[in-house]
Amino acid sequence: MSAISKLQLKAVQALWHVHAKRTLGVDPNDRQARLKWLSVATGRTIASSKDLSFAEAREVIDALKKSLGQVDKPRPRDRQFARALGMEGRRGNDDNAAMLVDERSLKIIDEYRQRLMWPELELQAWLAGKNSPLRGAHAIRTVGDARRVQYGMKGLLKAKGLWRKSAPAIKRERV
């Protein structure tokens, strides 16, 4: 269990200062009130803010932000997950764990289908056909499957002169 980082400690103290004034109506400099609140929030006795673990500090920061009505951006994926997502479906990838297809990948495929002016049945027929990027499978189940279908559809879009780099209908969000 890793300790609270310096940035987290600053964030906890800064958010506590605002939370104490606005929500609780207590003196933000009252150390005992802060430690009592942290103890309740974490479910264990906290003698110092530095006693918080990294994960506990994250939860405390999220709770303080929520109480103040601050909207937090979704946290980026961790490095291993991002690498696994990028390597999924590539040749030479020795990782046996398949990642299930995500909503974002399916939205991109649907947007490509709409650009090709295909009804859903035509996409299904293409996926089941002999030129399918899925090599005999009829359903998109993994991120690798989705990536193969996206690249196949990208080739078709380029051949028809319908390819453009970014799809304005799809907002790329950090997950």
Are 50 and 89 part of one and the same domain? no
The domain tally of the chain equals 2
pLDDT of the residue at 136 = 74
Provide the percentage of residues in the chain whose pLDDT is more than 90: 42
Residue 38 lies in a domain: yes
| pTM, entire model | 0.47
139 in the same domain as 84? yes
In a domain, 175, yes or no: no
In this predicted model, what pLDDT tens digit does every residue of 110-150 receive, in sequence order? 999 999 999 999 999 999 888 888 877 778 888 888 888 99
User: Per residue in 32-88, pLDDT tens?
Assistant: 999 999 999 999 999 999 999 998 999 999 899 988 888 766 666 677 767 776 777
Most confident listed range (24-33, 80-89, 166-175): 24-33
What long-range pairs does 156-163 form, CB within 8 A, spacing at least 24?
A: 156/116, 157/112, 157/115, 157/116, 160/116, 162/115, 162/116
Using CB atoms within 10 A of its CB, is residue 147 exposed (0-12), middle (13-18) or buried (19+)?
buried
The answer to the question of residue 72 being in a domain is: no
Whole-number pLDDT of residue 94? 65
Range of the domain at 55: 6-67
